[in-house]
Structure 1
Amino acid sequence: MKRIVILGAGTAGTMLANRLARMPEMDDWRITVVDATREHYYQPGFLLLPFGVYGKDDVVRPKRYYLPAGAELIFAEVDRIRPDQKVVELMDGRKVAYDVLVIATGSHIHPEETPGLMEHEWHKTIHTFYDFEGAVALADALRHFKEGRLVLNVAEMPIKCPVAPLEFVFLADWYFTHRGLRDRVEIVYTTPLPGAFTKPKATEMLGTMLEERGIRVVPEFNVMEVDPDARILRSYDEQEVEYDLLVSIPVHMGADAIARSEMGDELNFVPTDRHTLLAKGYDDIFVLGDATDLPASKAGSVAHFEVDVFMENFRRYLDGLELLPLFDGHSNCFIETGYGKGVLIDFNYDVEPLPGMFPLPGVGPMPLLKESRVNHWGKLMFHWMYWNILLKGRELPIPARMSMAGKRL
């Protein structure tokens, strides 16, 4: 019996395991999933937890509940991959052989990479919402914050969910307005990007919204260090931004096992063919989700579309056919903007977010690149869809390749 091994039971790995388990051609294959932790986190919920929209039970559930019954599940930390031996070595000394390997080890925050960030003020006046513990601590900090300067800093790109920092400052504006404190709280957004987002049309729209809400943007701010005692952010070009409460989006890196395997770039992301999702230099290793070095968003929608592409190409792989260049970097993201509204963007490698209607041309019901209440409800509905549809590998009527139908140039 042949074996496909999936490293990582996060969003991409879990979706893939469920899709493979329902594939008739897998009768002669064994599906093995390896992961070090037993809890599955709904990471988009980390953004909403600090504002009281979600509670802890909304974002944490056991991984075992969402993996197919027939799959072998190994809870262990990966030491390294030995591609020449087609073996994965685990930290406990076990070895797992594979015929096909899928790397879905995700990306992880590394606050220790920024001097001064993860010191004595961590989870006190310095916070993050990019992990569960950080989001819980930030919820408490926001409840007690009544006046001063709130600064959100993005340390370095790429990061998971590139729109989440924008969502945070929009929600902070709504949150403090709702509490009657907005005139006493200054909100500053510092980013290494030249504007609010990476794509021109979206940057123009979102930048205007930030300006209208009195949120100051400090672009091209490449943080060098944090002075936790003076409460100052310093950039490499000697800019300084003072804060009373700092929310950091730390440096993101791929799994340490990728570095030990000598398969990653300087940030431990795996060089990946941008259209077939094969790890570069290998014909039996695929990479999905945040573990890739692709110039696509590290977001759940991207993982979903990558799994769709993988399934189509994996059937060709089993038949000995050449893989097709199917993945186009497709991503769609809800941007929560507060006050019961949101924005939806849909884009890929080559096409930036455009106005229009999604998913049905002329019908929608969700407008693209436009703030609306429908998009807000779409964002909240995604929580149910994630646990009950996406994670279980059930297909959605949204094509993996981006469609131009309903979009206006």
Structure 2
Amino acid sequence: MRRLLVVGAGTAGTMVVNKLRHRLAPDQWLISVVEPSDTHFYQPGYLFLPFGAYTPEQVTRPTRPLITDGVDLVYGEVDRVAADRNRVLLTDGRELPYDYLVIATGVTPRPDQTPGMLDGGQWRERIFDFYTYDGALALARALDRFEGGRLVVHITDVPIKCPVAPLEFAFLADAYFRRRGIRDRVELVYATPLPGAFTKPVASARLGSMLDDRKIAVEADFLAERIDGTTLVSYDEREIPFDLLVTVPLNMGADYVARSGLGNELNLVPVDRHTMLAKGHDDIFALGDANDIPTSKAGSVAHFAVEVFIDNFLEYAAGRPMTGSFDGHANCFVESGDGRALLIDFNYDTEPLPGSYPVPTLGPFRLLDEAAVNHWGKLAFRWMYWHVLLPGRPIPLPAHMSMAGKNIPTPQE
């Protein structure tokens, strides 16, 4: 009996075990997944919790029913991976053997890595995050009480989960305060370590103009070194005072990755960016946010990468070369407020471009263009996530990015 062990039953881990259970013979393969939580969280929904657009019940489900029959769900915390012995050691002393290991424990916000973020007495008082379930709910209460002042949306450093989410929060905050009739009493500031609103020029220009249109000030190239009371201080000593800080703390992989000697300085597992095979190991893969591939840490990346990984793994386990090659495909809906959103679609080599998706001309979704249909697409994805994506059912979208429907802008003279 061969053993496939997956660590983490989030988006990537759940898709892997559910898909492979139907592709690997049960009498030949034992598939197990290790997960500490009995609750699965729909993390894209965290963005909507602070504004009351989603309820807690809409973003949570019990873990066990999401895992297909025939997969052994092991509740526990990982202490470390003993790669030299093909064992995963749990904190309670249990040891789980494997022939192949998939690391899919994602990244988590680490406010403890920025001086003054946790130890200054402001956490969940004036400083909030929305990248955690508890943080998003606490922020909802803070926004409800907020009657005016300077609200700063801040990214500590990259990479982060869903890199467009801070932009979305800024856009939704603008719309939220307009609905409450207090927008003129709120100064919105967007502080980012990037030189612009996004990492790619065309999308950055488009998103940057949207911030300008909404009178959201941008503090670019702002790399926060510490927080002094109610002031963000950068490494070059620039200061941004705030009345309410909505921050994205440093995102890091799981600590056990570091203890196992498998990660980089952010506890991300270095992998071949096309196959997800861990560098220096022939029996360990890392999927989803847990690896160091140079693309967005987003659910769509996990989905597309898993699609490529499944066929690759079947070839690899059969002793054949992996023929699939992941291209870094990502697409993300970007909520812009007032029932509209953009869509961006890109990969390792091609930046987000205007056009239509997934069908040329017909769409229905519009690329880099605010439209109600994009907003409804984002909301509909929650149903798709629970009922199609996680169960491992096929989605009629290609794993690799297509140039069909995309328009390459003409360079300006």
* TM-score above 0.5, yes or no: yes
Over 3 Å off, 4+ runs: 24-27
Partner residue in 1 for 2:85: 85
Correspondence for 1:218: 219
Structure 1 residue 319, shift from structure 2 partner: 2.3
What is the match of residue 364 of structure 2? 365
User: How does 1:57-136 map onto structure 2 within 5 Å?
Assistant: 57-119=57-119, 120-136=121-137
2:309–2:324 CA contact under 8 A, matched in 1: no
- The amino acid that maps onto 1:147 is G
Task: Tell me how far apart the structure 2 counterparts of residues 45 and 355 of structure 1 sit (CA, whole Å).
Answer: 26
- Single out whichever of 111-120 and 184-193 deviates more from structure 2: 111-120
- Structure 1 position 358, deviation (Å): 0.5
Letter of the structure 1 residue corresponding to residue 5 of structure 2: V
- What SS does structure 2 have at the residue aligned with 1:196? coil
Output the CA distance in 2 between the equivalents of 1:115 and 1:293. Answer: 25
**Contact 2:353–2:407 (CA<8 Å) still a contact in 1?**
yes
Q: Return closer, same or farther for 1:103/1:296 CA change in 2, 3 Å cut-off.
A: same
* Corresponding residue number in structure 1 for 2:161: 160
Report if aligned partners of 2:153, 2:245 keep a CA contact under 8 Å in 1: yes
Q: Which amino acid aligns with 1:221?
A: F
Deviation (angstroms), 1:116 = 0.7
SS of the aligned residue for 1:18 comes to: helix
Query: Which residue in 1 is equivalent to 2:200?
Result: 199
Pairwise CA distance, 1:62 = 1.0
Aligned to 2:36: 36
Q: Are the equivalent residues in 2 in contact too, given 1:223–1:234 (CA < 8 A)?
A: yes
Matched AA of 1:344:
L
Question: d(CA) in 1 for partners of 2:362 and 2:147?
Answer: 43
Q: Deviations over 1:364-397 (max 9, x none)?
A: 1001111100000001001111111111111111
Superposed displacement of residue 36, structure 1: 1.3
What per-residue deviation string (whole Å, max 9, x for no partner) do you get for residues 86-139 of structure 1?
A: 111111111100011101011011001111111321111110001011000000
Letter of the 1:243 partner, please give it. F
Please give the residue correspondences for 1:186-265 in structure 2 after superposition, counting only pairs within 5 Å.
186-228=187-229, 231-265=230-264
Structure 2: how far apart are the matches of 1:289 and 1:63?
18
Query: Helix, strand or coil: the match of 1:281?
Result: coil
Distance 1:199 1:270 in 2: 24
Please provide the CA RMSD for this pair.
Answer: 0.9
Is the partner of 1:81 in helix, strand or coil? Answer: strand
Deviation at 1:26, TM superposition (A): 5.1
Q: CA deviation at 1:25?
A: 4.2
Q: Write the letter of the residue equivalent to 2:383.
A: W
Q: Which amino acid aligns with 1:317?
A: Y
* CA distance, structure 1, for counterparts of residue 27 and residue 207 of structure 2: 49
Q: Measure the CA separation in 1 of the matches of 2:223 and 2:3.
A: 44
Q: Distance in 1 between matches of 2:76 and 2:220?
A: 41
Task: Report the AA paired with residue 196 of structure 1.
Answer: A
Aligned partner of 1:142: which letter? Answer: L
Range moving further from structure 2, 185-194 or 81-90:
81-90
CA distance in 1, matches of 2:28, 2:215: 60
Count of aligned pairs? 407
- In structure 1, distance between residues paired with 2:25 and 2:36: 29
Q: Indicate whether 1:181 and 2:217 are aligned.
A: no
Distance (Å, rounded) in 1 between the aligned partners of 2:68 and 2:211? 44
Preserved contact between residue 14 and residue 391 of structure 1 (Cα < 8 Å): yes
CA shift, 1:258, in A, is: 0.2
Q: Distance in 1 between matches of 2:402 and 2:395?
A: 15
Hey, what does 1:294 align to over in structure 2?
Answer: 293
Q: Is the 8 A contact 2:275 2:326 kept in 1?
A: yes
Secondary structure of 1:209's counterpart equals helix
Work out the percentage of aligned pairs sharing the same amino acid: 57
Tell me the distance in 2 between the aligned counterparts of 1:9 and 1:318.
22
| Deviation, structure 1 residue 324 | 2.5
Query: After superposition, what is the alpha-carbon deviation per residue over 1:236-276, rounded to whole angstroms, capped at 9, x for unaligned?
Result: 00100010000110001000110110110001000010001
Aligned to 1:172: 173
Corresponding residue for residue 411 of structure 2: none
Structure 1 residue runs without a partner (length 5+): none
2:321 alignment partner in structure 1: 322
**3-state DSSP of counterpart to 1:189:** strand
Higher alpha-carbon deviation: 104-113 or 19-28: 19-28
Tell me by how many angstroms 1:24 deviates: 4.7
Shift of 1:325: 4.9
Deviations 1:47-74 (A, max 9, x none): 1000000011111111111001211111
Cα contact 2:311–2:324 (8 A) shared by 1: no
| SS of the residue 2:43 aligns to | coil
How far apart in 2 are the matches of 1:22 and 1:180? 53
CA contact (8 A) 1:289 1:298 kept: yes
**Alignment partner of 1:74: what SS?**
strand
Q: In the TM superposition, what is the alpha-carbon distance from 1:27 to its structure 2 partner?
A: 4.2
Q: Is the 8 A contact 1:20 1:26 kept in 2?
A: no
Tell me which residue corresponds to 1:8: 8
| Partner-residue secondary structure (3-state), 1:34 | strand
- Amino acid corresponding to residue 375 of structure 2 in structure 1: H
Does 2:402 match 1:403?
yes
Q: TM-score, normalised by structure 2?
A: 0.97
Q: Secondary structure at the match of 1:388?
A: helix
Tell me, yes or no, if the aligned pair for 2:308 and 2:324 is still in contact at 8 Å.
no
Q: 2-side partners of 1:84 and 1:233: how far apart?
A: 44
Separation in structure 1 between the aligned mates of residue 196 and residue 234 of structure 2, nearest angstrom: 16
